[in-house]
């Protein structure tokens, strides 16, 4: 799959575009009507949760697919937004908690996440290729350990609890249906933004930089600035996911941003497919379903072996994840997933 995992040239992407209409409408209808048939548990614990992790996967897909930078620090960025919400808003841990209203806290939290993401990006784009994955893993782990030991800002191992989703327009947004629609709305927004952005001048430049940074530099493009800006955008999406996550859990602790969680996001994005923004959402649904029901089927003890093997099979058999599998199963779609090297 190398780093050229997203749309390789313009031709396949246009094919996608032609297809977008019908498929998107059906998907939208299904997702909007989903609450009619789903229980509250399936609505939030599966639906909402998958959308949240799908958004984190999407932010990774943006970096990896279009920018060729595989990050393991997306959960860290989301975690920064989550912690910011806990610190700026209200919590019941008796530490900090400035009590800002949500409409002030949320933009600041997302901004903090975006800036942190840009900083991580700036540090890691100083080196190229596979280095990124190492550096972001090191950053994610270091942040996790620091959050666990620092009481002044992160409240240590216990983290923050008692964080409530806001209630406005007469709706309590943590109730199952509103929360689901909130997640859906933000996910669709991010999804559309990424899809649109990939076709914008910036998106095209980023993909060109991914394919040949030297040539782009020679042409006078500021390669580092483009990459860091991509990190900033990914940070906004991951930050929004982080805000939803902290409202969903009502709490945030170092465990939320641990190494396992960081790798989960990567697994979600890779299993779903890094080629198209819908991939991470598919991956999220599959992984969350497996995670939730593994205990009833194979027992929780060996869940990690199961998910690890699925991950390995996907990486070996279909570098484009589930999306790629579809391409293989459907022969008439095969030509679009055939690429040199895969």
Partner 1 sequence: MSLLDQPSSPSLSGGGMTRRQAWGLVGLFAAAVIVWLVFAVWPDWLNAILISKKAFVSAILNGITLAGLYFLVASGFTLIFGLMRNVNLAHGSLYLLGAYIGYEVTSRTGYWLLGVAAGFAVLAIVGVVMQVFVFRRLEGDDLRQTLVSIGISIVAADLMLAVWAGGTYQIATPEWLDGALTLPIITAVRSNGASVFLTYPLYRLVVLAAAIVIGVGLWLMLHRTRVGMMIRAGVDDRAMLQASGVNVHAVFAIVFAVGAGLAGFAGVVGGSALSVAPGEDVRYLLASLVVVIVGGMGSITGAAIGALLIGLAEQIGLVYFPTYGIVLTFVIMVVTLAVRPQGIMGKAR
Partner 2 sequence: MRMHRRTLLALAAFTGLTAPSMALAADDTIKIGLLATFEGPFTVLGEDGERGAMTAVAEMNGTVAGKKIEIVKGSSDASPDSAVRAARKLVEQDGVKVLVGPLSGDEGLAVKDYAKTQPNVTFINGTSAAQDTTLRDPAENFFRFSTDGAQWMAGLGTYAFKDKGYKKVATVAEDYSFPYTQVFGFMAEFCKAGGHVPSKSWVPIGNKDFSSVIAAIPEDVDAIYVALGGADAVNFLTQYQQGGGSAPLIGGSITVDQTVLTSKGKLRDVLKGTPSAGPTADTNDAPAWKAFVEAYKKQPGAFPSPSLFAHGYYVDMKATLLGLDQVGGDVSDGGKKLRDALSKLSFDTPTGKVSLDKNRNAIADIFLTEVTEGADGNLMNKLVKVVPQVNQTLGIPEDEFMKLGAVNRDNPSCP
Binding partner at 330 among partner 2, partner 1, none, C-beta below 5 to 8 Å by kind:
partner 2
Q: Angle between the 176-199 and 201-211 helix axes, to the nearest 10 degrees?
A: 70
Contact status: 265 vs partner 1 (CB under 8 A) = no
Burial class (CB in 10 A: 0-12, 13-18, 19+), 290: middle
Written as one string, the DSSP assignment of 177-206 is HHHHHHHHHHHHHHHHHHHHHHHSHHHHHH
The helix (H) or strand (E) run that includes residue 167 is strand 167-168
Instruction: Name the residue nearer to partner 1 (CB basis): 32 or 298.
Output: 298
Q: Which of 14, 19, 225, 334 binds partner 2 (CB under 8 A)?
A: 19
Residue 172 dihedral angles phi and psi, to the nearest 5°? -90, 115
Q: Which of 298, 308, 317, 334 binds partner 1 (CB under 8 A)?
A: 308
Contact status: 311 vs partner 1 (CB under 8 A) = yes
Contact status: 270 vs partner 1 (CB under 8 A) = yes
d(CA 134, CA 131): 5
Contact status: 104 vs partner 1 (CB under 8 A) = no
Q: Which of 3, 8, 34, 97 binds partner 2 (CB under 8 A)?
A: 34
Stretch that binds partner 2, among 19-27, 126-134, 185-193, 217-225 (CB under 8 A): 19-27
d(CA 108, CA 119): 16
What are 299's two structure tokens? Answer: 């027992």
Burial class (CB in 10 A: 0-12, 13-18, 19+), 144: buried
Contact status: 341 vs partner 1 (CB under 8 A) = yes
Of 278, 286, 284, the C-alpha closest to 65 is: 278
Residues lying near partner 1 in the complex (CB under 8 A): 1-3, 5, 70, 123-124, 126-127, 129-131, 133-135, 137-139, 141-142, 145-146, 149-151, 259, 263, 266, 270, 301-305, 307-309, 311-312, 315-316, 319, 341
Contact footprint for partner 2 (CB under 8 A)? 18-19, 22-23, 26-27, 30, 34, 37-42, 45-47, 92, 94, 145, 148-149, 151, 156-159, 161-162, 249-251, 253, 255-256, 258, 260, 282, 285, 289, 292, 295, 299-301, 303-304, 326, 330, 332-333
């Amino acid at each position: 799959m190398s780093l050229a995992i997203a749309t390789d040239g313009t031709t396949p992407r246009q094919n996608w575009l032609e297809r977008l209409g019908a498929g998107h409408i059906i998907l939208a209808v299904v997702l909007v009507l989903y609450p009619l048939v789903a229980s509250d548990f399936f609505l939030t614990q599966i639906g909402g949760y998958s959308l949240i992790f799908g958004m984190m996967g999407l932010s990774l897909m943006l970096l990896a697919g279009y920018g060729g930078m595989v990050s393991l620090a997306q959960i860290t960025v989301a975690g920064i937004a989550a912690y910011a919400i806990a610190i700026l808003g209200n919590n019941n841990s008796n530490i900090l908690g400035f009590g800002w209203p949500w409409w002030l806290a949320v933009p600041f939290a997302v901004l903090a996440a975006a800036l942190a993401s840009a900083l991580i990006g700036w540090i890691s784009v100083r080196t190229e290729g596979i280095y990124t994955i190492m550096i972001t893993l090191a950053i994610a782990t270091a942040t996790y350990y620091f959050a666990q030991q620092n009481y002044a800002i992160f409240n240590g191992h216990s983290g923050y609890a008692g964080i409530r989703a806001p209630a406005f327009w007469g709706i309590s947004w943590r109730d199952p249906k509103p929360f689901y629609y909130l997640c859906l709305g933000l996910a669709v927004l991010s999804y559309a933004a990424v899809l649109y952005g990939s076709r914008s001048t910036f998106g095209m430049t980023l993909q060109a930089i991914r394919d040949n940074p030297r040539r782009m530099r020679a042409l006078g493009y500021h390669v580092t600035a483009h990459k860091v800006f991509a990190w900033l955008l990914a940070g906004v999406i991951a930050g929004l996911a982080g805000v939803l996550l902290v409202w969903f859990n009502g709490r945030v602790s170092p465990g939320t941003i641990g190494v396992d969680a960081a790798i989960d996001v990567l697994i979600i994005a890779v299993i779903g497919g890094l080629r198209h923004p819908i991939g991470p959402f598919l991956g999220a649904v599959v992984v969350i379903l497996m995670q939730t029901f593994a205990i009833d089927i194979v027992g929780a003890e060996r869940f990690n072996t199961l998910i690890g093997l699925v991950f390995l099979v996907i990486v070996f058999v279909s570098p484009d994840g589930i999306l790629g599998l579809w391409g293989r199963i459907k022969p008439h779609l095969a030509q679009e997933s055939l690429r040199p090297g895969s």
